[in-house]
Amino acid sequence: DAKTTQPNSMESNEEEPVHLPCNHSTISGTDYIHWYRQLPSQGPEYVIHGLTSNVNNRMASLAIAEDRKSSTLILHRATLRDAAVYYCILRVIMNYGGSQGNLIFGKGTKLSVKP
């Protein structure tokens, strides 16, 4: 599986934007970029995913570099509730409808949000 690299930790102030980077220099053409986050004492939750174009949803935006070797998860206004570990994971969507199976979690980026 292609590997991702993320900073161990980042800090943000409440109500400011946060840009969480992820490097995936060995990404292949069939790899989708997924982001999950894990709030303290909870299971991980899906945040967003994309292939080539930038993506937006109610939780965040995903900006993908033109060469796809890196991406950035953007939280537009960080709240205290956004303090979590954020994981960037590559997944292959199977054209025949199968599943790649389990997620492979790295260490992720621990985001702290200061009031």
Partner 1 sequence: EAGVTQSPTHLIKTRGQQVTLRCSPISGHTSVYWYQQALGLGLQFLLWYDEGEERNRGNFPPRFSGRQFPNYSSELNVNALELEDSALYLCASSYTDSRLAGDTQYFGPGTRLTVL
Which residues contact partner 1 (rule: CB under 8 A)?
Answer: 32, 34, 38, 42-46, 49, 91-95, 97-107
Nearer to partner 1, 75 or 85 (CB): 85
Of 81, 61, 79, 88, the residue nearest 13 (C-alpha):
79
Nearer to partner 1, 97 or 115 (CB): 97
Q: How far is the CB of 33 from partner 1 (least distance, A)?
A: 11
For the chain, the farthest-separated pair of C-alpha atoms sits apart, in whole angstroms, at 47
| Integer CA distances (angstroms), 17 to 12, 28, 29, 73, in order | 8, 29, 30, 10
Scanning the structure block, which residue is given the tokens 């303090």? 83
Nearer to partner 1, 10 or 14 (CB): 10
Number of residues assigned to the chain: 115
Nearer to partner 1, 12 or 36 (CB): 36
Question: What spatial distance separates the first Cα and last Cα of the chain, rounded to whole Å?
Answer: 38
Q: How far is the CB of 63 from partner 1 (least distance, A)?
A: 17
Q: How far is the CB of 115 from partner 1 (least distance, A)?
A: 26
Q: How far is the CB of 1 from partner 1 (least distance, A)?
A: 12
